[in-house]
Structure formats: structure tokens, C-alpha cells
Copies of this chain bind each other. A is one copy, B any other.
Amino acid sequence: MSRKSKEEIALIYQDLQDHICGQLELADGKGLFKEDKWDRAEGGGGKTRIFENGSILEKGGVAFSAVHGPMPEKIQSKLQVEKSNFFATGVSIVIHPKSPMVPIIHMNIRYFELDNGTHWFGGGIDLTPHYVDVNDARHFHQEVKDVCDLFDPAYYPKFKSLADDYFFIRHREETRGVGGIFYDRLSAENNSHFDQILNFSLAIGNLFPQVYSFFMKKNSSLPFGDAEKTWQNIRRGRYVEFNLVWDAGTKFGLDTNGRTESILMSMPPHAEWEYMHQTKEGSAEEFTLNHLKKGIDWLNFSL
């Protein structure tokens, strides 16, 4: 049995992008994705799809790319691999909803291969509610765990812990949101294992529109006012801080002359900064800040 080739993986990921965009358009009911195709001078390219001003979603991006060519010096030294031609493909998503009651979400799956056969998969999915809701966090983690468990019972605990460490705003000592899973450099031991990891990435990719449509439907009609919008904008400011200061993928892209607009499609439509913003005692905002911590076992969390 032979494993899927890198070209096949790119095609499969591209189909996933189509599927996800269709599902999000269906769930939103108003907005439509616009496609921005781009070529990379050194080899490959991508399709960045952007959604603006929907009925539920304010701004979102679902990007596919498949790039290849000689390995740039900076990438080589960062990845600590042999100098070789490389191939990288992936789907990357960040969605900013209109309502502060609907969480921000991020999902990314990617595959990397060198001419010499070195390869790995990476990815993750994490939820960033503007207001932490314990039931939503539990539901999200349960869905993610269920998918992980189909492939390897060790995945969820390991990748959940990696997500807590990765999606962490160090200068605030806050997690970005309620976490999820993060994995990187997951390599296959044999062909069947390879297809299993590929399928795991696809299962995460397919979980994304399902679980996010659930939150869109459930939370978008919840009431909110100006105070909640302000808080949403402050939380979006934190999202900006994480992505520009700490996110390895963003830094790497900007540092290696990546396609700026595609990398920064994760930026929110609006964000705010207020000096020393204080939350009120006993407020939902304070509850949120108190639960942006590493190591919370959301599956078994009770108040």
C-alpha cells in the first residue's frame, strides 16, 4: 500500500477549503466568500478566501496554499533541517464574528515535506470566546477529544496541553482563549500511519465547520449591548497581540517575506486598546479573565 503523495494531499486540502467555505456560507446565510488567488514567484501559490460583513460573521479568512521550491535560508535555520527543496501545503482559518457572544475560532492543518523524505504534519484548532462560557468550552473540548480519540487516545491530552502552551499571551500571562489542540512535527512511521495522520488532520478540518456552525446558531441571537461590544474589541486587541507578538506561524511568515495580506487575514476588523482596562468585580468580563489560564480541564470543569 502506498501513501498519499504531496500533490494528492494538496488536492485533498483544497477540497476541504471548498467544503468549509460552503458550510460557513450556509450557516451565515448572507455573506459570501471572495477568492484571491496568488502565485509565489519561487514556486506554488494559494487561494485566500475572505468573508466580510455577513449576517453572523464580520470578517473571516479560509486560506489554502501549496508552495514549493528551494528552501529559503531563514526557513532552513529555523526548522533545523538539511538544505533541500521543500513542499508545504495547508488550510488556515480565523473567523471574527459580529456578536461578542459568538467566539472567535482558529483552525489550521498543514503538511511539510523535503526532497529527502523528511515530512511532518502540524495543525490545531482553538476557541477564543470573548466571554468564557463553561458549557461552550466543555462542548468544544468534548467534540475535539472525540475526533482525537478516533485516531489515538494519547492525542487529546498531549495536544490539549501543547495548545495551552502555544496559544499563550506571555506578556499578559493569559491564554488566548479556552484552548483546544495543537500539534506539530507529527511524522509517520510507515505508510498506513501516514494516511492515518492525514486522516486525523482531515477529521479536525471537517470538525471545524460543524462545531463552529453550532456556536453560530446557538449564540448569535443572544442579547448584548455597547459594553459587550467594547469588551469584544478589547479581546480582539489581545488576539492581535498574540498573533503579532507570539504566533510562530505569523512571525515566520512576516519574517520570510510571505504574503502579508494572507498572513494577516487573522487580524480582526476592529480592535481597541484602553490603558489598564479594569473589569468589575463579579462581572462576566472578570470571570473570563480568571479563566484564561493554562491547564483547565474543561471536560470535567464545574463551577
Spell out A's residues near B (CB within 8 Å).
Answer: 36, 48, 50, 52, 59, 61, 170-172, 233, 237, 240-241, 244-245, 251, 254, 257-258, 260-261, 263-265, 267-276
Contacts and interface: CB of A to CB of B under 8 A. Distances in A.
Given A240-B244, A260-B171, A275 B270 contact: no
B36 A276 contact: yes
How many protomers of this protein does the assembly include? 2
A232 to B, nearest CB: 13
- Secondary structure call for the A interface: mixed
A276 to B, nearest CB: 5
Nearest to A253: B171
14 contacts: A36-B275, A36-B276, A50-B275, A59-B273, A59-B275, A171-B257, A171-B263, A240-B244, A245-B251, A261-B275, A264-B273, A269-B274, A270-B270, A271-B273
A48 B275 CA distance: 10
Given A270-B233, A275-B59, A254 B265 contact: no
A243 B257 CA distance: 18
A257 B271 CA distance: 24
Nearest to A254: B171
B275 A61 contact: yes
Contacts of A264: 241, 273
Contact of A269 (B48, B244, B273): B273
B254 A170 contact: yes
Contact of A267 (B48, B52, B237): B237
Nearest to A272: B270
Contacts of A268: 273
Given A171-B254, A254-B170, A270-B270, A261 B240 contact: no
B244 A275 contact: no
A264 B172 CA distance: 11
